[in-house]
Amino acid sequence: MAARLQNKVACITGAAQGIGAGIAEAMAKEGAQIIIGDVNDDGAQSLAKQIGANAVHLDVSSQEDWQALQDHVEEQFGRLDILVNNAGLELVKPMQDHSLAEWRKVMAVNVDGLFLGCKTFEALLRESGKPGSPASVINISSIAGLVGYPDQLAYNTSKGAVRHMSKSLAIEWAAHGDAIRCNSIHPGCIRTPMLEMAVDGWVENGSVPADDPWSAVAALCPLNTVGLPEDIAMGAIYLGSDESRFVTGIELVIDGGWVAR
């Protein structure tokens, strides 16, 4: 049986660790050629060596970095079939403690970064996609983009924007006859460095007990467990493959039942 992403080229941002690394590893196993874009050069290079990928420095809030990445992809591969906008920034504190600079930094990474990525790669994605095998943009949002959580206003708002940007682009590309699909994935509690930072904030504000915070977090999910990066990666594999060629503009929630409850 052929690998599900054979002959596809995939670019994944924020893939030096966590969910992005899980997606990069899984897509490589399914036959995709992988480009990792991250500000963490050492982590990106290390993973690239492990999975036979390319690693390129990328600050997603920098238009110049996006253009350099686009030039690299076009020169090395001449096509792009899958763009995974995964890079993100968390901020856990009450609104009154948010500075305007912190708010803008979260938006620059979580929202502007997606806009720049989609805008920069639109032409190459359009050229690479075709009827029956459209290009795929996968934007990593969060269940925080669907429901509210205390003390993380900037993050929640940014992830809500990711959801709506994904739907808007799905409809725009379809309206223009472009063979590009766009969907968002909404992870729940996934054991990553970002979630570990968030849990520290929840302990500090009393949302979960300090003596056993992870059991408390797991108990919030109907499946009574905390997810792993590979759980999200399986959703990304589906959305990146031609199995989902008729799927665009959806939000794929992978959260152990959190939002349903």
Q: Is residue 53's pLDDT more than 80?
A: yes
DSSP code string of 188-253: -SB-SHHHHHHHHHHHHTTSS-SSSHHHHHHHTSTT-S-B-HHHHHHHHHHHHSGGGTT--S-EEE
**H or E stretch at 13:** strand 9-13
Q: What is the average pLDDT score of the chain?
A: 95
Mean pLDDT value across residues 105-114: 98
Burial label, 253 (beta-carbon count in 10 A; 0-12, 13-18, 19+): buried
Catalytic residue among 4, 139, 140, 155: 155
Instruction: Please report, as a single letter, which amino acid is at residue 113.
Output: G
Percentage of residues in the chain having pLDDT higher than 70:
99
- Structure confidence by residue, pLDDT tens digits, 170-184: 999 999 999 999 999
| Sign of the torsion formed by the C-alpha atoms of 172, 180, 118 and 85 | positive
- Active site annotation includes 238: no
What's the pTM? 0.94
What's the pLDDT score for residue 66?
A: 98
Mean pLDDT value across residues 148-156: 92
Q: Is residue 1's pLDDT more than 80?
A: no
Residue 221 near residue 188 (C-beta atoms within 8 A): yes
What's the pLDDT score for residue 201?
A: 80
- Structure confidence by residue, pLDDT tens digits, 209-257: 898 898 988 988 999 999 999 999 999 999 999 999 999 999 999 999 9
Cα 63 to Cα 66, 111, 117, 205, 209, distances in angstroms = 5, 13, 9, 36, 42
Cα 157 to Cα 59, 101, 112, 163, 216, distances in angstroms = 21, 15, 13, 10, 25
Q: Is residue 2's pLDDT more than 80?
A: no
- Structure confidence by residue, pLDDT tens digits, 21-42: 999 999 999 999 999 999 999 9
